[in-house]
Structure 1
């Protein structure tokens, strides 16, 4: 007994010493990052979103808190998945067949074309992503309490909403979206032109299924018109542009939007991410690089993770300088303190994750924000559900947070991809909206499908904890 007691005492002492060391490291970290910080202090004053299983922001948040899995089999109106589904597509026919027939798909979203001055006939020539971006941008502006249009707000009136009464300087309002070109409509135009070039005249039965080019077609498929159409229909005079940084697109847009405000080029920016790339071609493309999950779920940070599940969605935030938002009496949902990024340099490959590059981005972000990782209570991670990617990300987070003295289990970590799939160009915005609502509600949201965490996770020493269900965020 004495021996056992003697064995335990040093362990308790060592544990106490380790805790004191961590607290000392955290204190030094806090002081160091605040000394050289240059926070952006950009306020999120309005938000709107549509994602799988959620036709609006409130439903999206309710689904997150309720732990709803919005991933389903491919709807029949998208494509006949059974014609292209093969469980062994990883082994053979990669790029011709798909090992997955599951994804996160948007429900029907009401769109009043006439309210936005768009002739209904033109809709057949415009990519869905452009129309959804316009609708969600208008919703976000209403959420911020501002007029959607000069004059009558027909879109709001048509849905029984009171018109927002506040005016603002539209000439100093910019629009930045994260997105990429090409989707089902542009592919159909390409098939029509390519068939004629390579084979000859289209068979009548094929021609009747393919759209014909008209005056709306060219702008209707351009990625830059996503932002341009919003600026045009909502009558904004600031800059408008679209950025493509693959899965980081909506965060690249956020970075650009914050810089617009910080530089004084605009007083308000509508910043969004849009991705409606969830058709047959997208499934086959991801299958060709062996990225799709045969089990049909993004098992973020789980040891059984086997790939990504494709999702789609649109989200928009309305941004202003914090000082301006407070002066104007805006409701501030959250504050963006910093945005930072990095490249991996000469890594193993174009898509291979590299821990050193991720550490660099995080250190830059927290340094600019003036916030030590030891103070952070929630991390909304990328965590696509690939074993190597999740392991690298978790190892990166652990390295950075531990170095700054974060206590074991002090920070929640998770990913919304476990509920809606990987929404690609809109993924960052989906996570931003989720984290913003979690902060405002005081709730640590759950992450689904974590049964046995990734091998990079050590529960005894890791600064992180996985929440399987929603819990209070004290």
Structure 2
């Protein structure tokens, strides 16, 4: 398959925007269109649509089309030619292998294009299919089908009928809509079709019309048995497809719920489809209030003939992402579903806030899916989905798609010791670009079967003029050689076992020869020189599986339009040269930025710069949470702007971070050129831990005054305290749990932990008075440290407690491995959205999404697989280590066994207690951190009362956090804490006047407990 749309130039990019729930509908900026709208429209035209980027580009030379002829061709013809070629390559089929074969072409089109006498074939919709058949020299039917918006899915239905009949062996099915003329918008707007608010809201109560978009999609169809026989890479299976017509309704464009339902129910019945196996519907969903309601009503009616089950089947519409692509909408919907099968994810449907008042989802099998979610398996059956496409002329098409589950018997293809990897293109530039693209694909898919990759490139690609061929033994070796070729193939770096040529017969008067055997080097030399290799002869009867690999990189030849002038072309060529020179200069500077980022990361990892792989995840390389904050500080120094920690999680490699910085900080490249790397590294806030006490971490740069010491919470780390350390004028130390950053065993019991931490503190500050603090368990440790220090004759000035609990009522929680796994994985996910609590529920994993009947090992694997879809920043190996560390720390502190003893000099200590006024420990997050039966009894407890009893100088400040777990995450609470500790730990210190003023402000902002 192949596709293009707003925001995507291939299926990989198309899936990314689906997965991310991205709205790619953009503003119309072309001034000539805006002027035309103003002059001709009866009402204001919505100035947004899903625009395909670079749609004017076309590699005419590749297809042997003269520039003048290309200029006369409609844009849909151009994009269909390129996308058809890419779809065949994705299927592992060399286009020349189809010559003279019974292959059908079925293209959906709604017409369009300006007719001109000299360009009849260029704009005739019939040429959309016939031009493809002509270029590929095919002998099957070539049909262009127009049933309005259902055209491409109708083309698929017709293609399936031809395949079942045996009249053809392969079908090319597609659709294309590309807007090049503003008159189409005028007509649709005058007819009241377009959304006046310029927003596409499928199934929503505010839906007010559609937004259109450019799009094209092509899929290759074969009979399933033929595809399995030929070892084709299979995206999915069409379990059923059919069409019908509304006949007479209340009006020619009024849909018929009864016709739609009859089509669907007959398909399910005739093909013995259990509708409870259909987990997702890709609806037509154009975001018209009546049309959406009729479509859902029809689906409800057809489903309820077979099941009473409710709310199990997700529903969505791609049109909210890219607009309504009319003729291409059906095939793009199919591609969306197939990509969902591949990734086992159901992407979100956008712009749904409140249900359409005419749709009663509560009494249907359906729900609008608004978040990226795992696509659950159907027991032993494949995943299943349905696609609906409806034409405004009354033609309805419905298809049921199945995930393809390959046979359990793997290919027995022999694995040779070395492999020949041939690449060819029509230009040197396309060859280099393809090498780069393939290298990146290999780096991202390290488990590829190299034998299958070689076979696919050998038999599934054309032999074009400019050729390169490598002999390799490993994927890693191949990726390195491809990267060399992509960089231009410098002669002084030329690798071994590499051949190149221009596909010409070398000084011979006889035709091209074909070779079937011989040493690999000899075969490679012949192929590079222009001879043919019978690759099939190199393999036994059990041939490798063909793979979906990156497809040809077409040359971008600039604007090819009917109004193009030679003078304008010359200007564009000159501009392109200037742009190329600017890009080369920018590329050189970007290399400096990459090196700078590597140096910053290498400093945090304490390793040579040469060991940093720009493509590898920071956390896989070993970056800790403290190192992450150090990196952020260096980046903020470089950019001069605040950078959220989520950025490093989202763009978690040098390559991705560099791309983000270049796009969002436009002066970053110039800054990097003149940056002082040493100064940037010194801007890090966390010092390297001492060898004697690695748990003692300096969290800021300030060196004046006595230190502040804060102790870790129940999880063992101190990274959350850095937001307070930043505003502290004095040195601010965090003390982590022993064993948190080392492989040492943990310290058992709070008293033993306190004794060790006192040693660490006194290595920095031998004598008091001390200022101590901590969140949750950290406040309890601060109290015990105070008690032991006073027993030794030392003094403590202040203790800060952030929602610290009372241990007297805590029960011994029996640890469950599964519960520990759930907590650890969700804590790791939580770090990626730490400053965005609203995103917790959509990022963390709910216990109801898990099968607790699995073994511990299988349960953990289930968790990790789900977490990867939510942005898990760590590798599996790192998560195993993290789980082990957290379990070690949580087991060791034994807080439930701790019994508080009075202080020797309680009246000498000022205690500031920050209380979460709602008293919830987990609140709404409870199902994300505990399994059923492993609940913590800490809600609504008056934890502060015992501290009030033991500490005479005790002051309470109420905070309004959602729950205990997000106390240091929610912005309002954090800002209040920052304001307070900026003063408490200042040179002047806390004054009664400031505290009274601060307390009043927090009461106004957060309120107080009603019973206090």
On whether the aligned pair clears a TM of 0.5, the verdict is: yes
- Residue among 305, 316, 326 paired with 1:424: 326
Query: 2:52: which partner in 1?
Result: 106
Query: 1:84: which partner in 2?
Result: 37
Query: 2:370: which partner in 1?
Result: 468
| Alpha-carbon distance in structure 2 between the residues aligned to 1:278 and 1:472 | 38
Query: 2:300: which partner in 1?
Result: 398
Deviation at 1:362, TM superposition (A): 0.9
Maintained 8 Å contact 2:320/2:350:
yes
Deviation at 1:122, TM superposition (A): 1.4
Indicate the SS of the match to 2:172: strand
Deviation at 1:168, TM superposition (A): 4.7
Indicate the SS of the match to 2:241: coil
Deviation at 1:369, TM superposition (A): 2.9
* Cα distance per residue 1:407-445 (max 9 Å; x no partner): 211001010001111101111111111011112211111
1:444 aligns with 2:346: yes
- Structure ID, larger Rg: 2
Report 1:57-456 matches (<5 A): 57-76=11-30, 79-81=32-34, 84=37, 96-109=42-55, 110-148=57-95, 150=96, 167-168=97-98, 170-183=100-113, 185-186=114-115, 189=116, 213-214=117-118, 217-277=119-179, 279-456=181-358
| Alpha-carbon distance in structure 2 between the residues aligned to 1:85 and 1:295 | 17
Maintained 8 Å contact 1:50/1:57:
yes
Deviation at 1:333, TM superposition (A): 0.5
| Alpha-carbon distance in structure 2 between the residues aligned to 1:170 and 1:141 | 16
| Alpha-carbon distance in structure 2 between the residues aligned to 1:239 and 1:131 | 20
1:54 aligns with 2:13: no
| Alpha-carbon distance in structure 1 between the residues aligned to 2:177 and 2:270 | 29
| Alpha-carbon distance in structure 2 between the residues aligned to 1:312 and 1:377 | 28
Deviation at 1:398, TM superposition (A): 1.6
Maintained 8 Å contact 2:260/2:298:
yes
Query: 2:914: which partner in 1?
Result: none
Maintained 8 Å contact 1:273/1:429:
yes
Deviation at 1:455, TM superposition (A): 2.0
Deviation at 1:169, TM superposition (A): 6.2
| Alpha-carbon distance in structure 1 between the residues aligned to 2:121 and 2:334 | 29
Deviation at 1:467, TM superposition (A): 1.6
* Cα distance per residue 1:266-303 (max 9 Å; x no partner): 10000001111463111111112111101112211111
| Alpha-carbon distance in structure 2 between the residues aligned to 1:448 and 1:245 | 27
| Alpha-carbon distance in structure 1 between the residues aligned to 2:308 and 2:372 | 22
Maintained 8 Å contact 1:98/1:283:
no
When residues 326 and 336 of structure 1 are mapped into structure 2, their CA distance, relative to the original with a 3 A threshold, is same
Query: 2:917: which partner in 1?
Result: none
| Alpha-carbon distance in structure 2 between the residues aligned to 1:469 and 1:305 | 19
Maintained 8 Å contact 2:290/2:358:
no
| Alpha-carbon distance in structure 2 between the residues aligned to 1:104 and 1:237 | 36
Kindly tell me the number of residue pairs found equivalent between the two proteins: 375
Maintained 8 Å contact 1:97/1:284:
no
TM-score, normalisation: structure 1: 0.76
| Alpha-carbon distance in structure 1 between the residues aligned to 2:149 and 2:370 | 25
When residues 141 and 98 of structure 1 are mapped into structure 2, their CA distance, relative to the original with a 3 A threshold, is farther
| Alpha-carbon distance in structure 2 between the residues aligned to 1:333 and 1:100 | 37
Query: 2:672: which partner in 1?
Result: none
| Alpha-carbon distance in structure 1 between the residues aligned to 2:213 and 2:180 | 7
CA RMSD, Structure 1 to Structure 2 (Å) = 1.8
Indicate the SS of the match to 1:140: helix
Deviation at 1:248, TM superposition (A): 0.7
In structure 2, list runs of 5 or more residues that go unmatched: 377-1012
Maintained 8 Å contact 1:98/1:284:
no
Deviation larger for 108-117 or 118-127: 108-117
* Cα distance per residue 1:367-393 (max 9 Å; x no partner): 333212222100000010111100111
Deviation at 1:406, TM superposition (A): 4.8
| Alpha-carbon distance in structure 1 between the residues aligned to 2:124 and 2:371 | 41
| Alpha-carbon distance in structure 2 between the residues aligned to 1:220 and 1:389 | 35
Maintained 8 Å contact 2:5/2:14:
yes
Maintained 8 Å contact 2:163/2:222:
yes
Deviation at 1:83, TM superposition (A): 5.0
Query: 1:38: which partner in 2?
Result: none
Maintained 8 Å contact 2:285/2:292:
yes
Indicate the SS of the match to 1:54: coil
In structure 1, list runs of 5 or more residues that go unmatched: 1-46, 87-92, 151-166, 190-212
When residues 241 and 140 of structure 1 are mapped into structure 2, their CA distance, relative to the original with a 3 A threshold, is same
Maintained 8 Å contact 2:98/2:136:
no
| Alpha-carbon distance in structure 2 between the residues aligned to 1:83 and 1:222 | 25
When residues 397 and 411 of structure 1 are mapped into structure 2, their CA distance, relative to the original with a 3 A threshold, is same
Deviation at 1:82, TM superposition (A): 5.6
Indicate the SS of the match to 2:315: strand
When residues 85 and 405 of structure 1 are mapped into structure 2, their CA distance, relative to the original with a 3 A threshold, is farther
Deviation at 1:98, TM superposition (A): 4.2
| Alpha-carbon distance in structure 2 between the residues aligned to 1:463 and 1:243 | 33
Query: 1:202: which partner in 2?
Result: none
| Alpha-carbon distance in structure 2 between the residues aligned to 1:461 and 1:85 | 46
Query: 1:198: which partner in 2?
Result: none
| Alpha-carbon distance in structure 2 between the residues aligned to 1:178 and 1:62 | 25
* Cα distance per residue 1:243-262 (max 9 Å; x no partner): 10000100110011111101
Indicate the SS of the match to 2:297: helix
Maintained 8 Å contact 1:373/1:406:
no
| Alpha-carbon distance in structure 2 between the residues aligned to 1:59 and 1:175 | 26
Deviation at 1:400, TM superposition (A): 1.7
When residues 218 and 169 of structure 1 are mapped into structure 2, their CA distance, relative to the original with a 3 A threshold, is closer
Maintained 8 Å contact 1:298/1:421:
yes
| Alpha-carbon distance in structure 2 between the residues aligned to 1:119 and 1:406 | 60
Which runs of 4 or more aligned residues in structure 1 lie more than 3 Å from their structure 2 counterparts after TM superposition? 95-99, 167-170, 456-460
| Alpha-carbon distance in structure 1 between the residues aligned to 2:53 and 2:169 | 34
Query: 2:468: which partner in 1?
Result: none
TM-score, normalisation: structure 2: 0.36
